[in-house]
Amino acid sequence: MDTIIAYFQYIWGIFFNMNERFAVIYIGCTILMAYLVWLYRGKPENFIRFLVPAKVYTHRSNLLDIKIFFMMRAMAFFGLLSAVFFPTTVSYTLLEWLSGTRPEGFEQPPITWQRSLAATVIIVMASDFCKYWAHRMHHEWKVLWPFHAVHHSADVLTPLTVQRVHPVEPIIRNIFITVLVGIIQGVLLFAMIGRIDLVTIGGANAMYVLFNALGANLRHSHIWLSYGRVMEHIFISPAQHQIHHSVAIKHHDKNYGSMFAIWDWMFGTLYIPDEMEEIVYGVSDGTGKPIPQPYNTLTESVFKPFRESADAIKKQRAAKEAPESKTDTPVTPAE
């Protein structure tokens, strides 16, 4: 009983934690931005119906999102997702090694706000770079796609859809971040910082505070918000991420970025809409035609991807082991 009480206290604390996208302050910012979008569109309907349409929030897909949310939060509560997330350990191990290369050992550089700001930006960009490639791998590797398909199978998008993920996915992402961000933090500590003293707001990384306040919760929603062509080369807008969830062929494998669009721009996966587009969400058959919901229950969303991934491995092995068709004599045209 104590564990159950502690779990629900943890859930309640989410709404007051500046590191959480669902913090009350960010929800308030989301409502404000939705209100401005509603005004810009000329008040097309009652604002409450515009903000939380019943057909979206009572949809079976959203009900599954809620179940997965509580499951993923339970895993986080028991520390199951953080078991492979230890960039600090990597950074200090690297720092100790680098310090040993100097006869005089490690000397802590002076701490300035400029250095702290530089560290904040570098670490956030490194983390975002890892998220881009981890996300892209889940799309392009058939073995990993079934786990990410759980997220893309959402038929409607709500802020809770961000938590509609299979546990395997954040574990792989955390391994990436642990290695790359850990190394970068170690180099920063050694070369210019001395200690990681990030610029924070309310105890949270300042850049993530701005990201969450400026529309992060609209990324998984029915509300279209574009930043414009210039800004969408730098930052991923809610509209761009909604396009990423589209079944349309022209939208496939686009806008992998989490916070920054520069990675998509750099590696050729950027899609910038010219105008508001009608989007059908879910997974398709590869031709742009939606397929029936593959994960109707929490049990299916957890266990079915393992079977699908195993099937993908078997197919890849079979393709490699299949003998190539050969002919002993050349084929000549019939006379």
H or E, element range at 254: none
Any bridge partners for residue 205, and if so which? 200
Alpha carbon distance 70, 301 (integer Å): 14
Contact yes or no for 164/323 (Cβ under 8 A): no
Largest CA distance in the chain: 87
Q: Which one has a higher pLDDT value, 200 or 153? A: 153
> Encoding tokens for residue 55?
């057909």
Tens digit of pLDDT for each residue in 64-98?
Answer: 999 999 999 999 998 887 766 667 777 777 777 77
pLDDT tens for 154-180 read 999 999 999 999 999 998 888 888 888
When the pLDDT of each residue in the chain is averaged and rounded to a whole number, the result is 88
Residues whose CB falls within 8 Å of the CB of residue 201, separated by 6 or more in sequence, listed in order: 18, 209
CA distance 277 to 252: 15
Exposed, middle or buried by CB within 10 Å (0-12, 13-18, 19+), for 328? Answer: exposed
Helices 87-99 + 168-188 axis angle, to 10: 30
